[in-house]
Amino acid sequence: MCAVTQKETPLPAWSLYVADLGYFDLTWLGQLAKRVDGEKRFFLMRLKGQVKLYWRTGKQIELHGLLPQQIGQAIQYGVLVGARARLPARLIMIRVPEEVAEQRQERLREDAKKDGKQVTEEQLYLAQWIILITNVPIKRMSMAEALILVRLRWQIELLFKLWKTYGQVDEWQTKKPWRILCEFYGKLIAMLLQHWLLLLGCWHDPHRSIVKAAEVIRRAALRLMAALHADASVARVLHSIQRSMRSGCRLNTRKTHPNTSQLLLDGLDWPICELASLPVVELSGET
């Protein structure tokens, strides 16, 4: 699976492209879905509002007439996406519980307020459903698997949030532009070093907690700086960081709101109605 942010980035054959609505582009998705030298690439995304849908016969679809009305009910159809693109895809729709719909509606209002925009009644109405499009065949990906995989797009956001919350890369102590730039670059370098150590120490473990692992790195920062300054014992400090990560930087398993790693390994045991009711991922000490 790939979560790339630049359309020019070549994707491996048989990979799955998962992205948020900010990267919704039917032209790009059409190019991505073309079979090249017998190899395919796939996509999985939420459906962007106002995008027209059609049956294979060419008749336009009235989305409101297809939406499942019972909470937890899931329906899928084969459709064509876009007035011009007519991109073949599976349309997956799941009705979410009322409390989840209210959370999504509130988030829409907050985002619109930040951008100085107004939320439309259509947006608030459609927040009652999870609506996805994908070109992955049913035999390769079930609806439950689609619900689990589409949540993975939040993992990169959690990494950015880690940098902001603990690295404070978006905060500074001065109003002078050049000092702000120097402080920003200094913090960004620190976060890159932190990430390299995360890759070295625990990235391979699906049950890792990057929050706990980052705390281990911060505690060892002075020892690492001293070792670098003395040009000695750097390897010893790195091994110490690795040991600490492997011994205690794991997620606490949760029964009500499972971690992403739990969903990936055991998610098919969860009914679709329960997967649809899971809250939006937030960064915490358990992440």
DSSP state of 39: B
**Tens of pLDDT along 106-122?**
988 998 888 888 889 99
C-alpha to C-alpha distance for 32 and 26, rounded to whole angstroms: 10
Report whether pLDDT(258) > 90: no
38 CB-near residues (< 8 Å, 6+ apart)? none
CA angle, 33 as apex, 29 and 35 as ends, to 5°?
155
102 CB-near residues (< 8 Å, 6+ apart)? none
**Tens of pLDDT along 36-53?**
888 899 999 999 988 999
Query: How do the domains of the chain map onto residue ranges?
Result: 47-141, 154-287
Is 2 in a helix, a strand, or coil? strand
Task: Identify which has the larger pLDDT, 274 or 171.
Answer: 171
Give the predicted TM-score (pTM) of the model. Answer: 0.78
